[in-house]
Amino acid sequence: MCVNLYVRDVEKEVNFFTSIGFLEIERHKMEDSDTVVITPVAGGNALLQIWDIEFIKKVSPEVAEDKPSILFTVNNIEEMHEKLKKITDTTGDLMDANGKKAFNFQSPSGNYYAFMTI
């Protein structure tokens, strides 16, 4: 599975996600911009491909404003929560979500994501 993220600053978004443990696995030049594929787990089957939104507006304007709602599942929710609190002040509090711990956060592009225990 690969989810496309359309952002204004590809490097800022990549740096944000790699600072919380995601791995960069591919980088490609697309005209004047880069597109970068990252993954939360080495060898996993969940990928995020980060695109420059201006490039997407040129080649596929009908999807440029699409924003995914992504929930990542982890074993170490408290550790991930602490890591994100150090990186961004948009990290929500840990809460109970039907018997599982969860929290949300905002990336530099303004998109919101969430983590939940497996």
pLDDT at residue number 90: 95
Domain of residue 41, residue span: 2-60+67-117
CATH code for the domain of 55: 3.10.180.10
Residue 14 has pLDDT above 90, yes or no: yes
Residue 3 has pLDDT above 90, yes or no: yes
Q: How many H helices and E strands in the chain?
A: 3, 8
Structural domains counted in the chain = 1
User: For 19-72, what is each residue's pLDDT tens digit?
Assistant: 999 999 999 998 999 999 999 988 888 899 999 999 999 999 999 998 888 999
Which residue, among 7, 1, 2, has the nearest Cα to 66 in the 3D structure? 7
User: For 78-111, what is each residue's pLDDT tens digit?
Assistant: 999 999 999 999 999 999 988 999 999 999 999 9
